[in-house]
Amino acid sequence: MLRTLVIGCLACLMVATRAWSAGTVQVPVLYIKQQVERPPVLSNLDDIPVDEGLAGARLAIKDSNTTGRFTGQQFSLRELAFEPAADPAAIIGQLQAAEEHFVILDLPAATLEAVLQADLGRERLLFNVGAPDNRFRTELCRKDLLHTLPSRAMLTDALSQYLVKKRWSKWLLIEGPLEGDRLFADALRRSAEKFGARIVGHKVWDGARDARRTAQAEVPRLTQGVEYDVLMVADEWGDFGEYLMYRTWEPRPIAGTQGLFATAWYRTIEQWGATQLQVRFGKAAGRPMGARDYAAWAALRSISEAAIRSGSAEPAMIGTYIQSPEFELAAYKGRKLSYRPWSGQLRQPIALSAARSLVTQSPQEGFLHRVSELDTLGFDQPEVQCKRN
Amino acid sequence: MLFRNGSIVVLWLASGVFSALHAATAYVSNEKDNTVTLIDTERMEVTGTIDVGQRPRGIILSHDMKTLYICASDDDTVQIYDIEQQKFVGELPSGADPEQFALHPDNRHLYISNEDDNLVTVVDVVKRDVVAQIDVGVEPEGMAVSPDGRWAVNTSETTNMVHWIDAKTHELVDNTLVDQRPRHVEFEPDSKTLWASSEIGGTVSIIDTDSKLVRHKINFSIKGIHPDRVQPVGIKLGADGRYAYVALGPANHVAVVDRKSYEVVKYILVGRRVWHMAFTPDDRYLMTTNGVSGDVTVIDLAELKPIKSIKVGRYPWGIAVRP
């Protein structure tokens, strides 16, 4: 396969090295993004970029076309954007009418679920880059759905491995009132059980006060009377989590969604050539790259990598190659990435970072797995009930 | 434009002055210290440090051994260091973010990979002028020029190709697809075979120069080390034609490969995250730069054993030895 491709592209290079040759094959990709209404938060220093996710896909198109020049393949992106209030039926309608085989879905969980229940009209390959919900990997999995965004379970497993290795295994859990907070807290409970940590106390932040003014008085009381190693916070939108730091009754570190947090991508990642991706992204998007941008980048690069390796423009062939054991993606994480056959999840190392410094990368050494250590993060094959066929 | 003062911070040991003048010197670029460490390869001791530009990586000597070229990646320049005068004598217009480079046998044309711009820049080191810029794949990295002077090859880390550039016309004429993240290329002395390492793929491809096809692929396996951590980077070919040495990055080993059978005959334990290597005169020792442990391991090639580690600066990256 490799040889045929090399010979194949030899021919196209004879024609031109700079311009697209006459025989250029098109690989179109559709990106559907629904904006999400951000709840009012106390910690509002950072805006959520409107092009979150999209900017990663755009960069991957550029990267892929630099290579495509040599292989006679051109990758293109069509972007469809929807408001938070958009009716899922409108999104489904657009999807049904779309010509593209490859579709990147940057949707909130409820919309994604609606899309998955609809008849999409024809065979496609869908990439979820917006919903970290575990159930898309464990209950709602299907053959034509891949996830490049890590599940919540992968994030909390990554964090738990490190804390357990540090022997900081008694946790006080404070969770916010929102749906995402509840799901993150559930994922933490599951990880605690999986790796032998203990949740010794549990509090809910009811969100009634302005923590910027009252945290100094309230956080000590909230964290008093429990003996614990780490204060675990489940606050996905960044409402109150930042205000727990330095205010606990006992001097304790904060981890979870704030403090030490787990992420697929963050600006502190620089090893394994990551600096190059960070610089490239920064130039193109004018801001640092985030986890959703990385997920979209990885989805598009998976498509182009499979197209280049399989030497094919046939969508079905590309899709098969992505999910074959031959597929591997170098993605600045020091390991080759591939998809779990049982859930369609991209297996990948997860960074643990503080706001301005990378702390470590999981899987941690010593957490063993019979096939790939990367599968110690998230749901392993025996834990997944749904069938992808 | 950067032009740092070229003074040497010399740490001569009292007795070492005269013997050091006759011994070979290794120059090690320290990526996160903006320095080059000098090592006396007879005594295997650090003898001095040169302040250089920002994020020094690629480092090579001119074929007449008079000049040292240093890629100062974050200063977007290649610095020219005159060894006899012990000072910087100029800079080359390298293009943005130069990382690795290779000097044509004519001692005049320097091929530089520009990591951020998907380019290879060809510079005339006498005129200090850009001769050509060639579009290549994403994140160009490894560079080599065939000993017969015919080919310049470049690897692009994210495109995963070896790009073949005609050294006369400076045109890209062919590409060979290799495994994930190709880092380094090295020609056999007869120019007929090219070695190319793939860091994330975990392999070394043996490529036939005439057909540009991968003829053989070398895999590595070290007991007790996860295959994903075996990440080939630097390659060196011994002058006697017998062995190739492959630095395996975070596997912290150098593989010794038989150049006829392509079998790995031994794995030698070195420092952490081993990048690049250089031979001392007569191939007596092989010196490796170990990025994470911040040292250089000296391997005795007669015994194929590590005999010493030498502390250098932070994140040692490249190494060149002047006989």
The more confident residue out of B48 and A6 is B48
Q: What are the residues whose beta carbons fall under 8 Å from the beta carbon of A139, sequence distance 6 or more? A: A385, A386
pLDDT at A8 over 70: no
ipTM: 0.81
Q: What angle do CA A287, A290, A291 make, to 5 degrees?
A: 165
Contact pairs from chain A to chain B, CB under 8 Å? 82
Report pLDDT for A213.
64
B255-271 per-position pLDDT tens digit: 999 999 999 999 999 99
| Dihedral-angle region of residue A284 (phi above 0 means left; psi in -120 to 50 means alpha; beta otherwise) | alpha
Report pLDDT for A351.
98
Whether B114 and chain A come into contact, CB under 8 Å, resolves to no
Whether B113 and chain A come into contact, CB under 8 Å, resolves to no
Report pLDDT for B228.
87
pLDDT at B78 over 90: yes
Report pLDDT for B304.
97
Residues of A in contact with B139 (CB under 8 A): 273, 276
Which residues in chain A belong to E strands, given as ranges? 25-34, 73-82, 102-106, 125-128, 145-147, 170-175, 198-204, 230-234, 254-256, 260-263, 329-330, 336-339, 346-347, 350-353, 358-362
Minimum CA–CA partner of A64 in chain B: B159
pLDDT-based confidence at A212, cuts 50/70/90? Answer: low
Percent of chain B's residues with pLDDT above 90: 89
pLDDT at B16 over 60: no
pLDDT-based confidence at A46, cuts 50/70/90? Answer: confident
Please state which of the ranges A45-49, A237-241, A250-254, B266-270 shows the lowest mean pLDDT.
A45-49
Radius of gyration of chain A (CA): 22
Report pLDDT for B261.
97
Average pLDDT, chain A: 90
pLDDT-based confidence at A389, cuts 50/70/90? Answer: low
The CATH superfamily label for domain A154-263 reads Response regulator (3.40.50.2300)
Sketch the domain layout of chain A as residue ranges: 2-150+266-349, 154-263
What is the mean predicted confidence (pLDDT) over A238-257? 94
| Cβ atoms A185, A176 nearer than 8 A | no
Residues of A with CB under 8 A from a CB of B: 2-3, 5-6, 9-10, 13, 17-18, 63, 66-67, 69-70, 273, 276, 279-280, 308-309, 328-330, 334-336, 372-373
CATH number given to B93-219: 2.130.10.10
A277-300 per-position pLDDT tens digit: 999 999 999 999 999 999 999 999
Whether B96 and chain A come into contact, CB under 8 Å, resolves to no
Q: Residue A255 carries which side chain, given as an amino acid letter?
A: A
Give the whole-angstrom CA distance, residue B231 versus residue B202.
Answer: 5
A5–B177 CB contact, under 8 Å: yes
B79-118 per-position pLDDT tens digit: 999 999 999 999 999 988 899 999 999 999 999 999 888 9
Is residue B162 classed as helix, strand or coil in its secondary structure?
Answer: strand
pLDDT at A209 over 70: no
Give the whole-angstrom CA distance, residue A302 versus residue A29.
Answer: 12
Neighbours of B92 (CB within 10 A): 23
What is the mean predicted confidence (pLDDT) over B154-173? 96
Q: What is the DSSP letter of A381?
A: G
A52-66 per-position pLDDT tens digit: 999 999 999 999 999
Please state which of the ranges A204-213, A253-262, B19-28, B63-72 shows the lowest mean pLDDT.
A204-213
A311-336 per-position pLDDT tens digit: 888 999 999 999 999 999 999 999 99
Identical fold between A2-150+266-349 and A154-263: yes
Burial of A22 from C-beta contacts in 10 A (0-12 / 13-18 / 19+): exposed
B138–A13 CB contact, under 8 Å: no
Neighbours of B208 (CB within 10 A): 14
Report pLDDT for A385.
84
Query: Which residues in chain B (171-210) have CB-CB distances under 8 A to chain A?
Result: 171-177, 179-181, 199-202
| Cβ atoms B126, B139 nearer than 8 A | no
Minimum CA–CA partner of A2 in chain B: B177
Report pLDDT for A162.
98
Percent of chain B's residues with pLDDT above 70: 93
Residues of A in contact with B135 (CB under 8 A): 17-18, 69
- Cα A202 from chain centroid (whole Å): 27
pLDDT at B299 over 60: yes
What is the mean predicted confidence (pLDDT) over A239-245? 91
Please state which of the ranges B5-19, B197-211, B298-312 shows the lowest mean pLDDT.
B5-19
Report pLDDT for A375.
96
Q: What is the DSSP letter of B249?
A: B
Measured CA to CA in angstroms, residue A217 lies from A209, A247, A250 at distances of: 11, 8, 14
- The length of chain B, given as a count of residues: 323
Whether B139 and chain A come into contact, CB under 8 Å, resolves to yes
Report pLDDT for B124.
96
Give the whole-angstrom CA distance, residue A322 versus residue A307.
Answer: 9
pLDDT at B320 over 60: yes
pLDDT-based confidence at A354, cuts 50/70/90? Answer: very high
Pick the CATH number of A2-150+266-349 from 1.10.3720.10, 3.30.70.660, 1.10.1740.10, 3.40.50.2300: 3.40.50.2300
Report pLDDT for B22.
63
Percent of chain A's residues with pLDDT above 90: 78
Give the whole-angstrom CA distance, residue B1 versus residue A382.
Answer: 59
